[in-house]
């Protein structure tokens, strides 16, 4: 039996679709796609800080909104 290392998947019983799904899951879990998307284009450090601050503000607003009491319906 062949031992496979790294990001490879065995095709069993000619079921390529199943092997492809397993391969995509492995790649997703390893974080390789996220890394490639981040390296796709250069983002200036100031822009990156602004994006992170905006995302943090959005998370905070969402957290506050979820903690609000429901409005009275009368």
Closest residue by Cα to residue 23 from 9, 5, 4: 9
Q: What integer pLDDT is reported at residue 8 of this predicted model? A: 80
How many domains does one find in the chain?
Answer: 1
Q: Within a domain: residue 60?
A: yes
Q: Within a domain: residue 8?
A: no
Q: Within a domain: residue 27?
A: yes
Q: Within a domain: residue 5?
A: no
- CB–CB of 26/9 below 8 Å? yes
C-alpha span between 40 and 30 (Å, rounded): 18
Q: Within a domain: residue 6?
A: no
Q: Is pTM beyond 0.85 here? A: no
The tens digit of pLDDT for each residue in 25-74 reads 888 888 888 888 888 999 999 999 999 999 999 999 999 999 988 888 77
Q: Within a domain: residue 49?
A: yes
Query: Which two three-digit tokens encode residue 41?
Result: 């284009």
Q: Within a domain: residue 74?
A: no
**pLDDT for residue 4 is more than 70:** no
Range of the domain at 62: 16-67
């Amino acid at each position: 039996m062949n031992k496979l290392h790294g990001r490879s998947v065995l095709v069993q019983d000619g079921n390529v679709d199943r092997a492809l799904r397993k391969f995509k899951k492995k790649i997703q879990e390893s974080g390789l796609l996220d890394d490639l998307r981040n390296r796709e284009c250069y983002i200036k450090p100031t822009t990156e800080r602004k994006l992170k601050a905006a995302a943090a503000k959005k998370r905070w607003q969402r957290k506050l909104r979820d903690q609000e009491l429901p409005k009275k319906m009368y």
